[in-house]
A = this chain, B = another copy of it.
């Protein structure tokens, strides 16, 4: 395999979508985007139509629960709306590219597919790591047009002067740039997160904004349950940490007598 490959699981011509919106949730900081996109797929019972393979993914297979294996890949699911919300294409996957050029090649592939299905708007989902635990995660945005920035503000998305300062790395960023060149609107929704671990609470914040933007409603229970579990883990971590900190402090105090 020398190039990225697109495999259709259904006849491409049979896929009929009405001005669909593309939602990207590949792995990244706090797995925020991945959590949201996979939650959407599950709640909407979206249908997998495409698998993407690439020599720019890690050279390995993933072992499933039953002992069978799956090649590392990205996948596209579709969901057809019967209400005011738009049809959806949802892009998820095991990994992003591990090579520099691969990021450009794969994003090019995603955009070709978006064009083929007549996508007019793209939401890329990710996390924004700030290096400390976040009590009330909010959603930071970046978009490929000033009008889109304005619209997103109305859904509660925050935009901050040139933040993230290091830019947006990987598919969530590149898709915005590639989309602009093709005249497709695109916005990146980043849930603020510690960046230390998988963050379903941050994912909830992103999902809420996305639901408003898509005029859609899905159950949140699963993400809530996972967020609560994670909260317990974190509070236990904090407890342990404070226990470890206290005697350390005492020891330092004791030492003052010798100072």
List chain A positions with a Cβ less than 8 A from chain B: 1-2, 55-56, 58-72, 97-101, 103-105, 107-108, 141-146, 149, 159-170, 173-174, 176-178, 180-181, 188
Contacts and interface: CB of A to CB of B under 8 A. Distances in A.
Contacts of A149: 66-68
A56 B59 CA distance: 13
25 contacts: A1-B105, A1-B107, A1-B178, A2-B101, A55-B104, A55-B105, A59-B107, A59-B170, A59-B173, A60-B166, A60-B168, A60-B169, A61-B174, A64-B162, A66-B159, A68-B144, A68-B145, A69-B142, A69-B144, A69-B173, A71-B174, A71-B178, A71-B180, A72-B167, A99-B100
Contacts of A159: 66-67
A3 B66 CA distance: 37
Given A66-B149, A105-B55, A149-B66, A142 B177 contact: no
Contacts of A169: 58-60
A36 to B, nearest CB: 20
B108 A173 contact: no
A163 B68 CA distance: 10
Contact of A63 (B164, B170, B178): B164
A161 B167 CA distance: 39
A67 B162 CA distance: 6
B167 A62 contact: yes
Given A58-B167, A59-B100, A99-B101, 19 more contacts: A1-B105, A1-B107, A1-B108, A55-B100, A58-B100, A59-B104, A59-B169, A59-B174, A60-B167, A61-B173, A61-B177, A62-B167, A63-B163, A69-B143, A69-B173, A69-B177, A70-B177, A71-B178, A71-B180
